[in-house]
Structure 1
Amino acid sequence: MHAGYVWKSEWTKIRSVRSTGTTLALAAVFTIGLGFLISALSKNEFAKMDAHELRFADPTFISFVGTSLGQLAMIVFGVMVVGGEYSTGMIRTSLAAVPRRGLFLFSKIAVATLLAFVVALVTSFVTFFVGQAALGPYKASLGDPGVLRAVIGAALYMTLIAVFAMGVTTVLRSPMLSLGILMPLFFLLTPILGNVPATRKVAQYLPDQAGGKVMQVVAPEGDIAPYGPWGGFGIMVLWVLAALCCGWLVLKKRDA
């Protein structure tokens, strides 16, 4: 089957499932809403900072605090895109229609990734402008050094979170199991490991901890990461590629 037909088929599948659109909308609402709230609350904190503290203040990153919640909706989106066919048994029909499993998998992931990126990019810019408006005189400008990179980086980060979830779900072949692993990993385990001194050096190489650096304009005081924003993003890309490769191998070797 021609790749164009497979792409069109995958787009139709995603578009026909109402919950996928709802999940992407929630990702935007959570990211923008929490970013605005934290930025508004941070305005008073900025007013109390001395010169030393202001050196390490990062108004851009503050507006993206909501990604910690928005990424959970992106994880659900990624799991649903792949796991929906396994939970309904439609995966057998899909693979019968597209015997080339690599074409099937990467067409699905490519279409979902493009959709996730468009939503994440719009969300990222809205989040930035809304958050900076809430910060008032302490706001950053899009033309300031590193700010545009952070805004685009936030969109890329959210997109890769969804792609990572797609890869993991392809390996596990179960939406419930995938959510049962990914949700605690990103919502509980990595934040805890990142805040414990004994495990911080290990946690900084986990996908969300490393990838989140791309949203920073100013490195926080006491930052020990041996990489910069794009270095951390590169580590996250490696995690995503590993998940996708493992997913492809499982799909190739195992029966539907």
Structure 2
Amino acid sequence: MASVPAVLNSEWTKIRTVSSTTWTLISALLVTVAMGAALSALFKSQFDDLSDTERATFDPTFVSFPGMILGQLAMVVFGVLVVGTEYSSGMIRTSLAAVPRRGTLLFSKIAVAGVLALVVGLITSFLAFLLGQALLGDHGTDLGAENVLRAVVGGGLYMGLIAVFSMGVAAMLRSSMLSLGILMPFFFLVSQILASVPGAKTVARYFPDQAGSKIMQVLPDAMGTDEAPYGPWGGLGIMVLWVVAALVGGYLVLRKRDA
């Protein structure tokens, strides 16, 4: 029976030798940083045109992170590919033959990929913040300001959790195409649309992305957004509950169903 260190090393080898997973992480970084830089430069040039409410709630830290909307989609793809590729290629049978303890296989895979996603997420978050603040100039802030470091670190945690949540969903659905077909529209369309509908936003604010993104705001009503009935850490806690539920579901499916 394979030891946990051996399984972890095997999963690391799988991830780093597949070009698609590498490029999705690179895409997450580049898209997030580039979009954040573009929006920061735009806000600087049009700051005088902002409404009184937007100026009063101007959050230079949050302005650096609009690229997370697209960056998180790359993290979704990464998480789904890490798990789903084994099912689509049939390698899951070989993996289970080598590692009969299914929980060890799944959680070793998630641990390695999750740590990698977290590291990339933190690098992405700090780069987006530092470049964004440089472009905002006099309207920017720094890591020493109140709650700014929390928001920047929270951005990295958010991206890592999105990837882990996607891994759990892919483990439940056992299909990359089906997982992407559900998660991509959910995060990019459904969640964003419902969050803008007065009657549905009460429910939408408890979605994993809506709740988790609050950790990136220094001001609770940044840029005129609605205040949530929970704080930044409370929002991240809600997101963690979604992640735990997805992982438990993925484990139960893997444990009870044949490969």
1:223 CA drift (Å) = 2.1
* Aligned position for 1:144: 145
Q: Any idea what SS the aligned residue of 1:181 has?
A: helix
What residue is the counterpart of 2:99 in the other structure?
98
Which of residues 248, 254, 257 in structure 2 aligns to 1:254?
257
Structure 1 stretch 40-49 or stretch 135-144: which is displaced more? 40-49
Gaps of 5+ in 2: none
Between 36-45 and 64-73, the greater mean CA deviation after superposition: 36-45
Aligned partner of residue 228 in structure 2, secondary structure: coil
Look up the equivalent residue of 2:143 and give its one-letter code.
L
Which residue does the alignment assign to 2:122?
121
| 1:244 and 2:236 matched | no
Please give the alpha-carbon distance, in whole angstroms, between the structure 1 residues aligned to 2:145 and 2:230: 21
What one-letter code is carried by the residue in structure 1 that aligns with 2:244? L
Could you tell me which residue of structure 2 aligns to residue 214 of structure 1?
215
How many residue pairs get aligned? The number is 256
Aligned-partner residue type, residue 211 of structure 2: A
- The one-letter amino acid paired with 1:137 is D
Q: Given residue 232 of structure 2, which amino acid in structure 1 is its aligned partner?
A: P
CA distance 1:247–1:142, change in 2 (3 Å): same
Q: Distance in 2 between matches of 1:169 and 1:222?
A: 32
1:191-210 equivalent positions in 2, closer than 5 A: 191-210=192-211
Match for residue 233 of structure 2 among 230, 234, 239? 230
1:121-179 C-alpha deviation (Å, 9 max, x unpaired): 11111100001111111001110001000000000000000001000000000000000
CA distance in 1, matches of 2:220, 2:47: 17
Q: Which amino acid aligns with 2:251?
A: W
Q: How does 1:1-256 map to 2 (within 5 A)?
A: 1-49=2-50, 53-220=54-221, 221=224, 223-256=226-259
SS in 1 for 2:30: helix
Residue identity (%):
62
* CA distance in 2 between partners of 1:224 and 1:151 (Å): 19
- Alpha-carbon displacement from aligned partner over 1:34-93 (angstroms, at most 9, x marks no partner): 000011101133233466542211110010010000000000000000001000000000
Superposition TM-score, scaled by structure 2 size: 0.97
- Judged with a 3 Å threshold, the aligned counterparts in structure 2 of structure 1 residues 187 and 50 are, in CA distance, closer, same or farther, namely closer
Runs of 4+ off more than 3 Å:
48-53
Q: How does the TM-score come out when normalised to structure 1?
A: 0.98
| CA distances 1:182-237 after superposition (whole Å, capped 9, x unpaired) | 00000000000001111010000000000000000012246241100000000000
Q: How has the CA–CA distance of structure 1 residues 50 and 243 changed in structure 2, closer, same or farther, with 3 Å as cutoff?
A: closer
3-state SS, counterpart of residue 195 of structure 1: coil
- Unaligned ranges ≥5, structure 1: none
Alignment RMSD, CA only? 1.1
The CA distance in 1 between the partners of 2:190 and 2:218, in whole Å, is: 25
Please give the alpha-carbon distance, in whole angstroms, between the structure 2 residues aligned to 1:154 and 1:47: 28
CA distance in 2, matches of 1:68, 1:55: 24
1:65 partner SS: coil
